[in-house]
Structure 1
């Protein structure tokens, strides 16, 4: 199973249990359910932070109270199945979260796929003179004879070492692994200096919005196929929150838009307390998209 690493920090609302009494269905504007309080569980991954905070803003504009709670994947899926969390918005299929879905899938409810372009990559500056991973072997000197990687134990690193490097004969290049922040620092420096660089990366990631990059083609599929990102609800989520469940079921977000918002929140900003105001401004700049998230249209 592919491992994922989390980058960035997370602003979390106060932890709270799901409130099960108080409002009538007419009060919450839905067809059923009796609470306008929703708890979203999330992993400390960039896209999870981004879309969970986005939905927090959107739902609070619709009169809901939204709590964000972060944990590792195992506890998140456990809490979702137990009904302690109402929804999780960043489930990767078919590989990354396969084991969790095998364990909990019968007890939780898939609401909908919102992105189908999650994948591992080798990325280079867009003006680099190569377009495929195998071309790195004959052009190593143009990239300082290096591929800059992330953490040694990451699934992406394992795929590079076990599949990509031997498949394409890249053993003569130095494959440098240390950490994601170190890779991003090298990327920033090279891009600022107008130098060629090859890094291991993945979609979605804010670097695709911050820098002019291209993915090298992987003709043998050594890094695997693209995965989907989907939202899942608790066993009773559709019954408890039919309005929100329908919104999530119909929601989509393309990679370019996701990368843009990730970049604003997690790269250009270093203060999690500002997530709300950043998203509020982004929402003002993208009124049609925000309206579509709840099935409406911008005024």
Structure 2
């Protein structure tokens, strides 16, 4: 009888261990697909999210770099699990209207962002209206240096051109990296330039820049960056969902990572260093996860 009881006990223990290993293995083998746009701010945030998912939750992360439209579409159709890169309420308003009903909004992960036209502080202009001055337009070669054509700030900048009567200007399409390079070059040479700008961004930390006043309110006021996930993520990956729901940081936090990347660190190393140096903050993102 004792042998039988011992055998039953061992069977129960082995079953429990197997179940625990299966649960742990299941969690470790999860692949999380994160969509993001190649803006310096989103490169910083997405790599930090990736580092926490991999180092703290044992997940495998696949990063999907796309334009803004496909990023939203990917969350809506479930081909991506989440993003930490939705600029609201203005910059990505059209995408929210189109895809919002098929996406779960986990709220703001960063408060106090801003978009608009930016210039070096040494330029003697203070408002978008000042760009109409013939001398200013000539010094700028009638160009506004933009980023990717699908970005919300590009749509807003084209509206600004129309609203402020800047029909003589061309909004140049490029990329966020190319825009920043052009700005850095002009700044070093003390030359005039106007770019599509947003904060947080390392360029405001490394250069003395200013936004041009927007009296017509084309760019809207202060914005937030939201975390969006596909429907069903909460049921499929509850720990991943909980972390993404609790992920929140400040513009200063983000700028620390961006400045490190700009200084030569890889995005992965900059994110790894930031996470290791902010253990208490990271733990608040993981609260309630076993």
Using structure 2 for the length normalisation, give the TM-score: 0.71
Partner of 1:122: 117
Is 2:2 the partner of 1:41? no
Contact kept? 2:115, 2:197, Cα under 8 Å: yes
Task: Report how far residue 141 of structure 1 moved.
Answer: 4.4
Whole-angstrom distance in 1 between the partners of 2:54 and 2:72: 24
Count of residue correspondences: 265
Is 2:252 the partner of 1:260? no
Contact kept? 1:118, 1:229, Cα under 8 Å: yes
Matches within 5 A, 1:150-229: 150=146, 153=149, 156-161=153-158, 163-168=159-164, 170=166, 175=170, 177-180=172-175, 181-229=177-225
Q: Identify the match of residue 58 of structure 2 among 45, 61, 64.
A: 64
Contact kept? 1:164, 1:222, Cα under 8 Å: yes
Whole-angstrom distance in 2 between the partners of 1:25 and 1:111: 31
More helix by share: 2
Whole-angstrom distance in 1 between the partners of 2:271 and 2:63: 18
User: Could you say if the C-alpha distance between residues 256 and 215 of structure 1 is closer, same or farther in structure 2, counting changes exceeding 3 Å?
Assistant: farther
Gaps of 5+ in 1: 1-21
Deviations 1:94-119 (A, max 9, x none): 45555554555444322221124444
Task: Report how far residue 67 of structure 1 moved.
Answer: 1.5
Q: Identify the match of residue 272 of structure 2 among 274, 280, 297.
A: 280
User: Could you say if the C-alpha distance between residues 45 and 23 of structure 1 is closer, same or farther in structure 2, counting changes exceeding 3 Å?
Assistant: farther
Contact kept? 2:147, 2:196, Cα under 8 Å: no
Whole-angstrom distance in 2 between the partners of 1:250 and 1:144: 47
SS where residue 27 of structure 2 aligns? Answer: coil
Deviations 1:177-219 (A, max 9, x none): 2524553333112221334432222334332233222212211
Contact kept? 1:119, 1:227, Cα under 8 Å: yes
- Pair member with larger Rg: 2
Please, what is the CA RMSD of the aligned residues? Answer: 3.8
